[in-house]
Amino acid sequence: MAGHSKWKNIKHYKAAADAKRGAKFTKLIREIMVAAKQGGGDPDGNPRLRTAIENGRAQSLPKDNIERAIKKGTGELEGVDYTEVLYEAYGPGGVALMIQALTDNPTRTVAEIRAKLSRGGGNLGTSNSVSFMFDRKGQILITGSTLDEDSAMEIALEAGAEDFAKEDEAFVVTTAPADLHAVKAALDAKGLKAEEAELAWIPKSTIKVEGPAAPQLLKLIEAIEELDDVQKVDANFDIDVAEMASA
């Protein structure tokens, strides 16, 4: 799950979800393959591939896996042909879900997602049924910086960022989708190293979820993200950190 405005919520949730997700490397490899297929195998000339490789390295994806994924994407090695698919849905509490997938069989993928939604108190929507509640943006998370907030903000805005926020001990930089990779490179050059960089569906507003619906929603999102074909889920919920910790 990503794209929510409160990074402390997301960081807590993602830490719990990643600990349980056995297919983490599979998702990283698929993204590298698709990026290489679409823009070529040279990361210097393919910003999406460069970001995918950097995200893989940050998650300790072995170098051999990265190189093999690139070759499969460019056709040097035989590989599966993945298609990018976006599904829109509702979860418990009326929360809107944007589900991004990379799949070689959309029919199988939508059936698996529909089954998870049905069991978890959600339902699949039609195209554009919830996407109007989100903006498509680039998002960069920076942690561990020694710079103060004003200095970091100045660097980010000079690099072309649309927005900058400090949340807890992290800096969150928002960009136009097309500017994500260029802004990230400019930040890296200034010593602001990204922990995470991705295109995300950012909610225009959030829905407060409390009581039984909170753990139900989190379990549903986790179940969907555990599907091999699903890369990530963006949502517009706001859940108290204490409730998230006990979910």
- pLDDT digit string, tens, across residues 108-161: 999 999 999 999 999 999 999 999 999 999 999 998 888 889 999 999 999 999
- CATH code for the part of the protein at 86-132+204-246: 3.30.70.980
Q: Where in the chain is the domain with CATH 3.30.70.980?
A: 86-132+204-246, 135-203
CATH match for 135-203 among 3.30.70.980, 3.50.50.60, 3.90.550.60, 3.30.1010.10: 3.30.70.980
Strand partners, 85: 101
**Contact partners, residue 196, CB within 8 Å, separation at least 6:** 2, 55, 58, 139, 140, 141
Quote the percentage of the chain above a pLDDT of 70.
88
> 104: which 2 tokens?
């070689």
pTM of the complete model: 0.84
CA distance 9 to 195: 16
Percent of the chain beyond pLDDT 90?
A: 63
Residue bearing the bigger pLDDT, 59 or 245: 59
Tokens representing 196 are: 């995470």
> How confident is the model over 164-216, as pLDDT tens digits?
998 878 899 999 998 998 899 899 888 888 888 888 899 999 999 999 999 99
